[in-house]
Structure formats: C-alpha cells, structure tokens
Amino acid sequence: MRKVESGIYDKNYFSETDGAAYFDKNEVAPKFFHAVCLSGAAAGDRVLDLGCGRGDLLMALSPTNAKAVGLDYSQASLAITKKTLSRLDPEKRENIRMIGADAAALGLSANRFDFVFMIDIVEHLYPEQLLACFRECRRVLKDEGQLIVHTSPNKLYNDVGYPYWERPINLVLNKLFGQNLMTRPARNEMDKKVHVNEQTLWTLEHGLRSAGFRAKVWLGGEYVKPVAKETRGMQALEVARQVLCHAFPLSLFPPLNYLFSNNIWAVATKET
C-alpha cells in the first residue's frame, strides 16, 4: 500500500505546519478546541487521536479528563508530543498514552473508543490508504461512537479559488499598499510531497460512506471570516481584504464557499 515516508514528518516539518505559531507560544490553535467541542467528549470517554502530530488535539482534550491515546507513525511526532504533554499536570498526563502505529493498520481492539479524531491527516493518506484507515476507525469505534474529521486544503480552493481569484488580488494589494499577503503557488514543494489526497465536500463524504459511515460534512467559515484586529483601522482593512479576496460574506454560502472555504469538517457515525 502506498504511503508517504514517515521520515518526511521530522522536527522541521512540525515547526512549520498549520498551528505552529500558536504552538511556539505554548498555546493551541482554535481548530483543535473546536474539534473537541464538536465531539462533546467528557470524563471517562475513550478517545483516539490519529496522526497526533505535535500533540495539539491532546492538549485541547486534556481539560475534559477523557482517556486518550495519541497515535502516529512518525517518531519525530511522538517525541514532540511527549514533550508537549510534559506541560500538563501529572494527573492530566496520566489520562494520555502514546503509541506508534500506521493509520491503516491500528493494531487496536474493536469497539474500544467513544471518539476517534482525524485532524489534518486525511489529505496525507493515499486513496486506498484512507479507505483502509476509515474502515479501521469504524472497527475500533463503539457502536454509538463518533469520528471527527478536519481536512485542509479544500481541493477546489487550491485548484480554482486561490490561483484564479485570491492570488492575483493579493499581488495587486501587496504592490499598492505594501502588504505581505500570500502569493506563492497553491502548492509548495512540501505540499506536493505530503498532500497526496486533497478533498472536496463530496469526495470526503463518499469516502466515509464507502467505509460504512453515515456522515455530516460541511465547509467551515474560519478561513473567510474577518479575524479580530487590535484597532478599528486594522479591522476595516481586514474586512476589506476578505471582501476583495473571498467575496465575504457571500463566501460563507453556496456556491462561493465551495471555492473559498478552505476547511472541511465531518462528524461520522457507524451506518447500521
């Protein structure tokens, strides 16, 4: 079965991926807290974090006192996560254990977990590997368990929204106003190596259903909503940027959100 070599996911990789700016300040990016809130995980629940990366989701989960397993096949990931979890109080750390394993062959007992999280791992798994992973998730979930998924990028944003609309506008704004908005190609060299299976709403839902899940799949508005700024002037510029670059607020709704929303979420349960 094809897979991205684990050695690619080294210390440098995790220092640059999404959420690293929060991580460097000993904070956790909001999407991980959002994922935990979606699940409703609570004390006593058993949770599996597939592709635990730096340990962001496990840190966001720790206040719930759920019993968690962090799993990754990257040795660098496991080492970074262990160091991350050392910031927790001892009683919180006791709720979490780490294992090294392949997402397509978990080696865990069936009907074990109340929740499985797949945060930013889907796009890293080849199609046949992803289907095997989804089937493994279904196997290890309890009958009433939930699979929580986040994946980015949205393939339609990378293929259409960014290169044909946002990037040209960013180039103009940078030139006119001395901004530093993103103008690089939609996929850099690392993206090409590790994002081997970018998703759309429809492909993600199809993959989950093929594995025996019923799923609610939606596009998040996090990327296209204006973020809070410190001054009124900066806030006005942020709103103007979102209007120009993403057609906000129309980009929160179909059909424009298909092109500009760059976060895909899903909550899936076993099909009976």
Q: Which of 10, 104, 105, 97 is nearest to 55 (CA)?
A: 97
Same-domain check for residues 210 and 228? no
- Can you give the residue range of the structural domain that contains 25? 6-154+194-221+262-270
How confident is the model over 122-151, as a mean pLDDT? Answer: 98
Number of Cβ within 10 Å of residue 118's Cβ equals 25
Residue percentage of the chain with pLDDT more than 90:
96
In-domain check, residue 145? yes
The burial class, CB within 10 Å (0-12 / 13-18 / 19+), for 216 is exposed
Residues 172 and 122 grouped into a single domain: no
Residue 161 confidence (pLDDT) above 90: yes
Q: Are residues 145 and 178 in the same domain?
A: no
Burial class for 259, CB neighbours closer than 10 Å (0-12, 13-18, 19+):
buried
Q: What is the pTM of this model?
A: 0.96
Structure tokens at 1: 């079965």
- Domain count along the chain: 2
Give the whole-angstrom CA distance, residue 225 versus residue 261.
10
CATH number, domain of 115, equals 3.40.50.150
* Structural domain contains residue 55: yes
Pair (42, 135) in one structural domain: yes
140 shares a domain with 18: yes
Residues 143 and 209 placed together within one structural domain of the fold: yes
Q: Is residue 1 part of a domain?
A: no
Residue 26 within any structural domain of the chain = yes
Confidence of residue 177 (pLDDT cuts 50, 70, 90): confident
Strand pairing of 46-50 and 113-119? parallel
Q: What is the pLDDT of residue 272?
A: 80
Residues 116, 168, single domain; the answer is: no
Q: Is residue 266 part of a domain?
A: yes
45's tokens: 């629940």
Q: Quick count: other Cβ atoms within 10 Å of Cβ 116?
A: 28
d(CA 149, CA 132): 15
Output the pLDDT for position 178: 85
CB proximity list for 34: less than 8 A, separation 6 or greater: none
- Examine residue 56 and state whether it is found in any structural domain, yes or no: yes
Let me know whether 230 and 142 are in one domain: no
**Angle between helix 167-177 and helix 232-246 axes, rounded to 10 deg:** 140
- Considering the domain architecture, whether residues 118 and 198 belong to the same structural domain is answered as yes
Claim to verify: residue 172 and residue 143 sit in the same structural domain:
no
